[in-house]
Structure 1
Amino acid sequence: MHAFAALLDALIYTRSRNAKLKLIGDYLRDTPDPDRGWAMAALTGELDLPGVKPAVIRALVESRVDPVLFRMSRDYVGDTAETVALLWPEPDHPPETAEPLTVATVVDRLGHLSRSDAPAALATMLDRLDAEERFALLKMATGGLRVGVSSRLAKQALADAFGLDVEAVEEVWHGLEPPYPTLFAWAEGTGAQPTAADVPVFRPFMLAHPLDDLRVDLADYAAEWKWDGIRVQLVHVAGETRLYSRTGDDVTRAFPDVAAAFATHGVVDGELMVRGDFQGGEAGSFNALQQRLGRKVVSAKMLAEAPAFVRLYDILFDGTEDLRALPWTERRVRLEAFAARLDPDRFDLSRVIEAEDFTALEGIRAGARDAAIEGMMLKRRDSPYVAGRRTGLWYKWKRDPLTADCVMMYAQRGNGRRSSWYSDYTFGCWTEDGELLPVGKAYQGITDQEIAQLDRFVRQHTLNRFGPVREVEKSLVLEIAFDSIHESKRHKSGLAMRFPRIARIRTDKPAAEADTLIGLKKLVT
């Protein structure tokens, strides 16, 4: 565990992407199997130890440390694993000398224990480790490393360390199981390259650059709507169907209705949404889709009330034929033919927008306020389907955000490097009766200097304390930008914002002049 703990510690304090790649690469070269494979699983979010949950860890530490001290410390530190690692007391009777714990040993023991047996085993391990190793163990056990490393960066580090093509690694990644012995054998030249034959593996998505102020010629680019769902890749091979999110997560279990309907050999790219009215066939808002995200089991009622479908963007494979090298215009023709063979209740095509020129397209975009439209996509007509973002091929042109002036109501400390700052803010708007009701929560969009300004306001204007939450004087206005707003039964205000972020701090505006719920309801799409 010591080497893995040292790696995590170094990654936390390293900002440079290249430095992180080197740290991970050095670890993977120097560490034997299967430890490095389990470490990769942890870094990429593929490690699951179901017997260890945050509640188990909290109960363990509160059995050995004063619960009030732990909760106050957790509130200040902002991270459970770090707090427990530092507060965990030295055992009265240190365990007898034993072999050092390895990553593989930890995974093997915790991965095969029931939820009732896991706490005692975890406590025994914590007694044997130092603070740095305890932190690594707890982060690994709960699956939330938060060390500034994405799944893609970890795979890039592996590829760089062994001279592999990262796209080739991505191509076979989801067909392999941790601790990835065949992957490392290939990397070290002692085994054959794994293949994706007869396995429904994930292929990296083609992504787009923001359009910004660029204007393009529609003779060279095709325009499509950018739909507001989740980007998915559907793969059907050897009688098996998988749905993958943009990050490569398998979301098949959350959408069994779509998976069951996709039984044609091939790989397609599209936007997964739910229908606002299944009979009418229109796409619902992201808020409707959100009810199904992250679920491992979907009830029959939810399947009936929020039926999912996919609006198709592109095609990667038609049967066993790889179409990614073809230009977009040819792939579009193949996609239209492929889509005609699918269930129309579950699959349709994202239509191409017809416009005389770019100026006309601007007008069409400006008038788009459909709940399911996020903006436009501009795709070069001769572009192949290539992984990642390639300059000049695809552009995303999001619609301008909506804005509202809201009053700060509550604040809470952030996590990680923001753990000592009040950086998460709940804000509200006025009812007709002069009451403030919360309409959203945001922590994005402002600079560190502005966070410091808001932190001072919270500390100087706190009215009440509710655990880690501070209620503040209702006197500061925040201009909130958001993509859309929808009706919601889960919120007291009856509204839910889509992707709210702080646009600016309105010290120039009295709180009494902030926006009203009536005004916000007029923006509901």
Structure 2
Amino acid sequence: MNRFAELLDRLVLTPSRNGKLTLLTDYFRSVEDPNRGLALAAITGDLTIAAVKPAMLRTLVMERMDPVLFGYSYDYVGDLAETVSLVWPQSPADIANHQPTLADVVAKLQAASRSDGPKVLARLLDSASISARFAIIKLVTGGLRIGVSARLAKQALADLGKVDIAEIEELWHGLTPPYTELFAWLEGKAEKPEKTALALFRPVMLSTPVGDGDLEKLDPAEYAAEWKWDGIRVQAVCEGGVRRLYSRTGDDVSGAFPDLADAMDFSATLDGELLVGDPLQATGTFSDLQQRLNRKSVTPKIQQQYPAFMRCYDVLRIGDEDLRPLSFRERRGRLEAFVRSLDPSRFDLSPLVQFTDWQALEELRRKPLHPVIEGVMLKRWESPYLAGRPKGPWFKWKRDPHTVDAVLMYAQRGHGKRSSFYSDYTFGV
């Protein structure tokens, strides 16, 4: 457990991406199974532990110290997990005599019933060092908030095994913690795991911003333009009757959008924008879309008020045919024909923008037809679908930001990694 706790401490204090990658790669290389796999699952959000609500954690700690003192401490530190780990009564004898591994801690937490959970957690905290307590609390409260995304962790795996991150991402949803078969392959001790699961995520292709002088180097005739919609990039996958809706980072968000998942009656992989409203009448704003996000349950009323649909940009697969090696021109033709067979209230086609030169496109970019449009996308007609963010094939040319005169009224410190500076502001207009 101490190795995992040390990793979290160092990741929090390491600002650079390359520094975090080095820490992760070294940890995965030096720590044995299953501890490294469980650490990976915790970082990527795939470790299943019954979450402990912050209120229960507060109750536990205030049984051991003065509530007013705890309140002052929390206000000063800014992060609940860090505060509890610092103020929890120290028991040096227990710490010296009991050094559980990450696997031991996870096993005890997963085996605990709802009623026994607080007692099990308290015993673990009693016998842990400050750093280990911080790590344990992060595990049970959910969300490490250490400045490491799931994709960065996967990049560390790719660096460990000297493979392309796209290989990791295509395998990911068919694997389960503690990922022993994945590590065995990355270390050259076993063959690459087979992709046996259905409806797997395919790594998405991303664009680069248009920089100064970029357009001067490009031929308008070689690029298609389409609107950049202000929603959430998603990938709709249906294979063998299994339906999945993924975010652009590969998170399964199907459960939050059952109305859209129910309409995925096809065998294909589509790339597009998740929006709300009626594509035949009006597209809702991002504020409308937020009414559907981060909900534990999606009621029929919410689905009726803010119906979800997908505006399709690209098609990666139809049936068993992988279309990613084809040019965008060919994929676009296949997509246009395919979308016509889908429910028009749930799927529509992102229209192409007709233009003759960059000046004409700039006029359209500055005055879009709809407030939900945040710019234009440029896609080279002959480009295949490449995972990652290769510069050249795709560009995003966003609208200039709006400005407003306002008065700063309140400022509040953030939590977690943002606890040391003011991150929440209230303005008066």
Q: TM-score, normalised by structure 1?
A: 0.78
- Residues 111-144 of structure 1, C-alpha deviations (whole Å, 9 max, x = no match): 2333332111111000000101111111222222
The residue aligned with 1:292 is 292
For 1:243 and 1:128, the matched residues in 2 are separated by 42
**Structure 1 contact 243–259 (Cα < 8 Å) conserved:** yes
The CA deviation at 1:204 is 1.4
For 2:348 and 2:248, the matched residues in 1 are separated by 19
For 1:225 and 1:96, the matched residues in 2 are separated by 59
For 1:30 and 1:187, the matched residues in 2 are separated by 13
Matched, 1:18 2:18: yes
- Residue 311 of structure 1 aligns to a residue whose secondary structure is strand
The residue aligned with 1:454 is none
> When you count helix as a share of all residues, which structure comes out higher?
2
Q: Matched residues, percent identical?
A: 55
- Residue 221 of structure 2 aligns to a residue whose secondary structure is coil
> When you count strand as a share of all residues, which structure comes out higher?
1
What pairs up with 1:206-355 in 2 under 5 angstroms?
A: 206-213=205-212, 214-215=214-215, 216-275=218-277, 278=278, 281-355=281-355
Report the residue type matching 1:9 in the other structure: D
What pairs up with 1:62-461 in 2 under 5 angstroms?
A: 62-91=62-91, 95=94, 100-213=99-212, 214-215=214-215, 216-275=218-277, 278=278, 281-368=281-368, 370-416=370-416, 418-429=418-429
Kindly tell me the number of residue pairs found equivalent between the two proteins. Answer: 426
The CA deviation at 1:230 is 0.6
- Residue 385 of structure 1 aligns to a residue whose secondary structure is coil
- Residues 309-361 of structure 1, C-alpha deviations (whole Å, 9 max, x = no match): 00000111111111111111011011112212211111000010011211111
For 1:383 and 1:182, the matched residues in 2 are separated by 34
Mean CA deviation greater in 1-10 or 416-425: 416-425
Q: Any stretches of 5+ residues in structure 1 without a counterpart?
A: 430-525
For 1:194 and 1:346, the matched residues in 2 are separated by 35
Q: TM-score, normalised by structure 2?
A: 0.94
For 1:28 and 1:298, the matched residues in 2 are separated by 38
**Structure 1 contact 51–118 (Cα < 8 Å) conserved:** no
Distance 1:417 1:340, change over 3 A: closer
Q: Tell me: higher relative CO, structure 1 or 2? Use CA pairs within 8 A at least 6 residues apart.
A: 2
The CA deviation at 1:416 is 4.7
Matched, 1:42 2:42: yes
For 1:280 and 1:123, the matched residues in 2 are separated by 56
Matched, 1:32 2:32: yes
Report the residue type matching 1:341 in the other structure: S
For 1:351 and 1:140, the matched residues in 2 are separated by 45
Distance 1:144 1:377, change over 3 A: same
For 1:21 and 1:88, the matched residues in 2 are separated by 31
Mean CA deviation greater in 190-199 or 115-124: 190-199
**Structure 1 contact 257–307 (Cα < 8 Å) conserved:** yes
Distance 1:300 1:423, change over 3 A: closer
Report the residue type matching 2:101 in the other structure: T
The CA deviation at 1:417 is 5.6
Report the residue type matching 2:341 in the other structure: R
**Structure 2 contact 231–289 (Cα < 8 Å) conserved:** yes
**Structure 2 contact 95–128 (Cα < 8 Å) conserved:** no
Report the residue type matching 2:237 in the other structure: V
